[in-house]
Chains A and B, each alone.
Chain A
């Protein structure tokens, strides 16, 4: 993907975070996506999130598949390692990387075609393995780089730019993830940074696979009258009833825990998600309730957003495999190779 270095314009001093870094330190190359692309807003939300969480840039590993969405890891945290892999195959790459070094923070950026067409098999199995990662689907309902074909999330009845309707039922990544037992499922809208940033923070701290489906309109090919993934359509049909805040440390929890918090979920590392508003009778820890809520909203033509489901104690890939707590890459050969004496002993059963 073409990338352009950002010009360094000295502005008024930026505020710094606990690591002494500014927001600029979490930025990447200039985006080469179309002006107004929803993906750029997600990139901006990620930059803000890492800055606010004081994430060491070198601990971030950003991986993607192929497509417009998969270009975006170039546009944030230039001090992080990036891996733009092949179409649909990002989940196994992250699975392997996470297996090797559990200490990095793995951010996977994918699109609706990447995750739900060519890479569906990988997406669902990364969920089953509960790979500890943030998985963002930048969902715009079309193949942008190849100029506007329907993707598997295109709704029945939505049309191409030229007016041809889609007749094939869509795959909803939120419903798919919930049915597969995903431990963290959210939907957001690229146009709503206020909602997206707390979700991203919680996803980063979540121990396990955190799936965020972000509706992210394609300004070129899917922002027209017949689209159900346009800015206008989402603004008109979004059902935004779940409001959550993320509180990272005990001091923040003490100081900022909203008095109107209805439900709170303690995360694996002690941080907290407080749900300030929720639909009636909704519990974000109840998978069945979440699924019903989504079904009902969809039947009414609404697009529910927010942190829909979270289960903070589900064992992740390393818990399931009883892996040592150290990253495997740090184990010296002496710990891994049983040595000559043991080889001789082992071969006694082969004589």
Chain B
């Protein structure tokens, strides 16, 4: 204990390395043990900061494990709206002695480390250029919460209280959140309030609060929500009218199907009267937990063939299995929506870490000549919009559409514009002939009579014998018959290639921002956006103006090629080792490889603005 007190006195926050005052511009890292309930405390702080109107982001760096391993949560606060992941932290809350070494190393010079001073910090780990703020969490909470499980949980709320005091948060906002969260359980609510105050009061009385890193209310979050991508994606599936979901549990996509189920239970059940006069709740949806991902996509294809809007959600390993059915759906022209929440590969890889490494696999999935339509959302708001669009495009073009989200977007909470819905939305079911339409034509041929988008009409089982055809993954001609003839075969696959090209006109417009005098362009994708925009802003201030384009889907719309052509050099920023987006751009826009540079981040943590700025500078300096 004495040693700890010494430590506190030495680094009371007023030492020589005290940080300059930073208002609404700092980063906090929480180091805890997984399975101890720290997520509630971290989310509580994030949401309270969001409610204070300050741009904020939260990144959960969790292990592929249920209980007992180190886990981190990072919050970045930035009044200018730059909230990509930080690499170094102004404040670290070190609640896990196993990771003291890394945690202490992750504090910015002059920054703060909050730790449990009930225990010793090994002297070898003590840095004299940061401030150690000891709080005897174990002692404090042992007295207040004698029951062990509650003590563990409440200790987390306790550190939330300490942080609230340290960075000048509005305690009322946090209290109100606790009231909302635990409105139906008074006992838990009271425990949470007690824990919060215990931490807060201890910090106010014993630490040098407030620290120079401070939160101040702003009004940047009106019209915004704090939501994770998987919830938004599931909402997209509900709003697009999907009735069949088939899936296999996999991190980080599981919460898409689970949220879809939850939302459907809320919005899609109906009281029906049965034959015997009794009433029962019935579902206007079905969720099938398949035996594997291959089967999950098989079910989607079966459901789409029969006429339903159907989808599956998965991650890279699932896409690997789905290749076979992707080829079938592509060649037989059956719609399918696949949500790929990407994680780190190859193989099992790092299931709880992020990458954008399924780009090439998805673009050309399956054996034979195949090309798929891909959509690349950058945040939860786009997850919602692009998912709805994926269903429209899949049915319009009668082909699989893959929405490439990732773990960072899917599982972390993002501050985004409120999701909007137009009640005049008309779903595009594509060319599906009704019994009446079939009556009006002399004869139906499945792969003839293409329209301007090279799409041919299809029919559904159960409608009319006149529309009956044999759907086959084997060689078929434009009439739908089996073929082994070169002409019959090529006619169909050539049309498929044109159909894929035509889809470029339906891909969401690329996000573009141009700077005066920029010679070089930066192209990026998905969740890299925040880090790239921040890096470009920084480099611009340093005298290197760069143009920016984020691709929103594949096949690439024309503006992508024009952007490439109008710059001397293009740097492609993405989160995989092999520069997959760069390869796809070179292949599909037929641009010279020498025109491209790469900035890559693929260690599994979300990309940071520092990584991007350093990378761009290295690649693009004269």
Q: Which residues of A contact B (CB under 8 A)?
A: 1-3, 57-59, 61, 63, 73-74, 78-86, 89, 91-101, 103-104, 121-122, 124-125, 129, 318, 321-325, 327-329, 331, 333, 335-340, 342-344, 346-347, 350-351
B325, A86: Cβ atoms under 8 Å?
yes
- What are the residues of chain B within 8 A of A339 when measuring CB–CB? 421, 423
A86, B324: Cβ atoms under 8 Å?
yes
- What are the residues of chain A within 8 A of B286 when measuring CB–CB? 99, 318, 321, 323, 328
B270, A324: Cβ atoms under 8 Å?
yes
9 A-B residue pairings within 8 Å (CB atoms)? A1-B474, A63-B302, A79-B465, A82-B470, A95-B299, A323-B285, A324-B284, A329-B243, A337-B238
- What are the residues of chain B within 8 A of A82 when measuring CB–CB? 468-472
Least CB distance from A129 to B in Å reads: 8
B328, A100: Cβ atoms under 8 Å?
no
| Chain B residue with Cβ nearest A341 | B423
* Most central of B303, B426, B459 by chain A CB within 10 Å: B303
- What are the residues of chain A within 8 A of B244 when measuring CB–CB? 96, 99-100, 328
Interface status of B300 (Cβ within 8 A of chain A): yes
| Chain A residue with Cβ nearest B282 | A324
B283, A324: Cβ atoms under 8 Å?
yes
- What are the residues of chain B within 8 A of A328 when measuring CB–CB? 243-244, 284-286, 308
A343, B419: Cβ atoms under 8 Å?
yes
Interface status of B488 (Cβ within 8 A of chain A): no
| Chain B residue with Cβ nearest A56 | B465
Contact of A85 among B427, B465, B473 (CB under 8 A): B473
A61, B283: Cβ atoms under 8 Å?
no
Least CB distance from B451 to A in Å reads: 22
How distant is the Cα of A328 from the Cα of B304 in the complex, in angstroms?
Answer: 11
How distant is the Cα of A347 from the Cα of B245 in the complex, in angstroms?
Answer: 23
Least CB distance from B489 to A in Å reads: 14
B461, A104: Cβ atoms under 8 Å?
yes
Least CB distance from A52 to B in Å reads: 19
B299, A93: Cβ atoms under 8 Å?
yes
- What are the residues of chain B within 8 A of A81 when measuring CB–CB? 459-462, 467-471
Interface status of B464 (Cβ within 8 A of chain A): yes
B298, A125: Cβ atoms under 8 Å?
no
| Chain A residue with Cβ nearest B388 | A337
B460, A329: Cβ atoms under 8 Å?
yes
How distant is the Cα of A94 from the Cα of B426 in the complex, in angstroms?
Answer: 29
Interface status of B272 (Cβ within 8 A of chain A): yes
How distant is the Cα of A289 from the Cα of B393 in the complex, in angstroms?
Answer: 53
Given contacts A81-B467, A97-B461, A121-B291, 4 further A-B pairs with CB under 8 A are A89-B325, A100-B310, A121-B292, A321-B286
- What are the residues of chain A within 8 A of B281 when measuring CB–CB? 322
A95, B302: Cβ atoms under 8 Å?
yes
- What are the residues of chain A within 8 A of B306 when measuring CB–CB? 61, 96-98, 100-101, 104, 329
| Chain B residue with Cβ nearest A347 | B225
A97, B470: Cβ atoms under 8 Å?
no
Least CB distance from A135 to B in Å reads: 14
- What are the residues of chain A within 8 A of B469 when measuring CB–CB? 81-82
B303, A100: Cβ atoms under 8 Å?
yes
**4 closest Cβ pairs, A-B complex:** A96-B302, A92-B298, A79-B465, A96-B299
Least CB distance from B354 to A in Å reads: 22
Interface status of B463 (Cβ within 8 A of chain A): yes
Least CB distance from B613 to A in Å reads: 31
Least CB distance from B42 to A in Å reads: 17
Within 8 A of A (CB), among B465-502: 465, 467-474, 481-482, 484
B241, A59: Cβ atoms under 8 Å?
no
B283, A323: Cβ atoms under 8 Å?
yes
How distant is the Cα of A276 from the Cα of B459 in the complex, in angstroms?
Answer: 44
How distant is the Cα of A347 from the Cα of B310 in the complex, in angstroms?
Answer: 25
Does more than half of chain A's interface fall in helix, strand or loop, or is it mixed? helix
CB contact under 8 A between A336 and B284, given known A93-B299, A97-B305: yes
- What are the residues of chain B within 8 A of A3 when measuring CB–CB? 481-482
- What are the residues of chain A within 8 A of B467 when measuring CB–CB? 58, 81
Least CB distance from B192 to A in Å reads: 18
B465, A57: Cβ atoms under 8 Å?
yes
B421, A99: Cβ atoms under 8 Å?
no
Least CB distance from B234 to A in Å reads: 11
0/1 per residue, B433-472, Cβ < 8 Å to A? Answer: 0000000000000000000000000011111110111111
Interface status of B188 (Cβ within 8 A of chain A): no
| Chain B residue with Cβ nearest A80 | B468
A96, B419: Cβ atoms under 8 Å?
no
A93, B464: Cβ atoms under 8 Å?
no
B462, A61: Cβ atoms under 8 Å?
yes
Least CB distance from B359 to A in Å reads: 25
CB contact under 8 A between A337 and B425, given known A84-B473, A328-B244, A350-B225: yes
CB contact under 8 A between A93 and B301, given known A104-B306, A338-B238: yes
- What are the residues of chain A within 8 A of B290 when measuring CB–CB? 92, 125
A59, B462: Cβ atoms under 8 Å?
yes
Interface status of B519 (Cβ within 8 A of chain A): no
How distant is the Cα of A98 from the Cα of B286 in the complex, in angstroms?
Answer: 11
A84, B471: Cβ atoms under 8 Å?
yes
CB contact under 8 A between A125 and B295, given known A58-B463, A339-B423: yes
A343, B235: Cβ atoms under 8 Å?
yes
0/1 per residue, B224-239, Cβ < 8 Å to A? Answer: 1111000000010011
| Chain B residue with Cβ nearest A318 | B286
| Chain B residue with Cβ nearest A350 | B225
How distant is the Cα of A327 from the Cα of B301 in the complex, in angstroms?
Answer: 16
A322, B243: Cβ atoms under 8 Å?
no
- What are the residues of chain A within 8 A of B207 when measuring CB–CB? none
Within 8 A of A (CB), among B281-333: 281-288, 290-292, 294-296, 298-308, 310, 324-325, 328
Contact of A121 among B241, B295, B301, B419 (CB under 8 A): B295
Interface status of B268 (Cβ within 8 A of chain A): yes
Interface status of B120 (Cβ within 8 A of chain A): no
Least CB distance from B311 to A in Å reads: 11
Contact of B302 among A94, A103, A125, A323 (CB under 8 A): A94
A122, B284: Cβ atoms under 8 Å?
no
Contact of A93 among B225, B305, B465, B468 (CB under 8 A): B305
Within 8 A of A (CB), among B135-155: none
0/1 per residue, B256-290, Cβ < 8 Å to A? Answer: 00000000000110101000000011111111101
- What are the residues of chain A within 8 A of B304 when measuring CB–CB? 96, 100
- What are the residues of chain A within 8 A of B463 when measuring CB–CB? 58
CB contact under 8 A between A342 and B468, given known A323-B286, A328-B286, A347-B225: no
- What are the residues of chain A within 8 A of B302 when measuring CB–CB? 63, 83, 92-100
Least CB distance from B131 to A in Å reads: 35
* Most central of B246, B291, B418, B421 by chain A CB within 10 Å: B291
- What are the residues of chain B within 8 A of A323 when measuring CB–CB? 282-283, 285-286
Least CB distance from B275 to A in Å reads: 10
A97, B325: Cβ atoms under 8 Å?
no
B308, A329: Cβ atoms under 8 Å?
yes
Contact of A336 among B225, B241, B294 (CB under 8 A): B241
